Amino acid sequence: MSADKQYYELYRRSSVGTTLTDTLDQLISEQRLEPQLAMKIIANFDKAIADVIADKVKTRLTFKGHLDTYRFCDDVWTFIIKDINFKLDNTNPLQADKVRIVSCSSKKPGEA
């Protein structure tokens, strides 16, 4: 992983991220893996998932709903939207009662 770029840890809470973390924890508890190596694996996961999403995901999504709450802290926006309707390219619309959207800058610190 490049030393000058940090990656967000958002995807660690996805099903793939939690499964990876659980597996690494089990390997550490069985003394089959050093904790330092597990941390490097997690850091590589953060980078890989961010790179794949940036390079491979091309689907457009539009949504409409009622903004309930928003906040900005540590360069991260969080929005809570209620009664939301999603529309993906060439698919039927989806609905949800409440959604939390977390938005992080893709720029390196200091970039304009």
Do 34 and 67 lie in a common domain?
no
Do 50 and 77 lie in a common domain?
no
For residue 39, is it within any domain? yes
> Whole domain around residue 15: which residue ranges?
10-56
Domain containing residue 94: CATH number: 2.30.18.10
For residue 79, is it within any domain? yes
**What are the DSSP E strand ranges found in 18-89?**
61-73, 76-88
| Furthest-apart CA atoms within the chain: distance in Å | 49
Structural domain count of the chain: 2
- Please, are residues 11 and 50 in contact by the beta-carbon 8 Å criterion? yes
**What are the DSSP E strand ranges found in the chain?**
61-73, 76-88, 94-104
- The closest of 42, 44, 50, 38 to 8, measured between CA atoms, is 50
Distance CA 49, CA 78 (A): 20
Model confidence, pTM: 0.64
12-52 pLDDT, tens per residue? Answer: 988 999 999 999 999 999 999 999 999 999 999 999 998 89
Do 39 and 72 lie in a common domain?
no
Do 50 and 66 lie in a common domain?
no
42-60 pLDDT, tens per residue? Answer: 999 999 998 898 899 888 8
